[in-house]
Amino acid sequence: MDNNRISEEEKMENIELYDAANNMMLEARDSVGVQRFGLMSNFAWYDDPKRMAFHFSRYKFVSKMLAGKKNVLEIGCADAFGTRLVVQEVKQLTAIDIEPSFIADVNDRMCDKWAFRALTHDILSGPIPNEKFDGIYSLDVLEHINEEYEDRFMQSIVDSLSNEGAVIIGMPSLESQQYASPASKMGHVNCKSGDNLKHFLEKYFHQVFLFSMNDEVVHTGYHRMAHYLIGLCCMKKMAG
């Protein structure tokens, strides 16, 4: 159910738009309400708005790489503000985060048109029971996980993935951290260079394709000059 619908008394009165084509905006406001920022996106919009461009570009990349997937999992969704871009392209999506307050905020803002399942779950405790996904992605999570737990993190992802599925892992590069703002690098304990990220992911997948990213541009350029790294992984290695 849409929880953003505004009451009659909250509607702005006497609005006149010169172009009749813009009336659809008023109709949307009156029928579904004004869509709200989430907890994290609200802070980004207030603190450093350009970060929203980078954020959406990463989610757009994921949405295009996983387009057509039947059952997709996002790990570490935070306020899931960018998740809607992936919902546009896949059949079904589940988003999880370790923070109950984030998930409560996500569900409070859930829109019928772009509905998905949002759950509180710690992937370090293991996969979501009795489910397999043909697409999994995790953006800006691995750098927050201590190196001693990174294999547990990836094993839970592999155990959640169907044999034919694909995984996308995105994280800030190690080289970028000297330029990162205090807010951006807060909690970063495990950033990696491009080579190290690729080698780490190759422990679990036969094929790993590494992309670089600077601001909102995803490319295949020299990874040591990249601010952000994205690993696209497929053909998971079976245990044993």
Helical pair 100-108 and 39-47, crossing angle rounded to 10 deg: 90
Q: In a 10 Å sphere around its CB, with 0-12 CB exposed, 13-18 middle and 19+ buried, how is residue 117 labelled?
A: middle
How high is the pLDDT of residue 65? 98
The pLDDT of residue 7 is above 90: no
> Residues 191-207: pLDDT tens digits?
999 999 999 999 999 99
The pLDDT of residue 99 is above 80: yes
How high is the pLDDT of residue 240? 40
- With a pLDDT cut of 70, the percent of the chain lying above it is 93
How high is the pLDDT of residue 185? 78
Residue 191: name the closest of 203, 202, 179 by CA.
179
Q: Which CATH superfamily is domain 50-236 in?
A: Vaccinia Virus protein VP39 (3.40.50.150)
Domain layout of the chain by residue ranges: 50-236
How high is the pLDDT of residue 215? 95
- With a pLDDT cut of 90, the percent of the chain lying above it is 80
Verdict on whether the full-model pTM lies above 0.85: yes
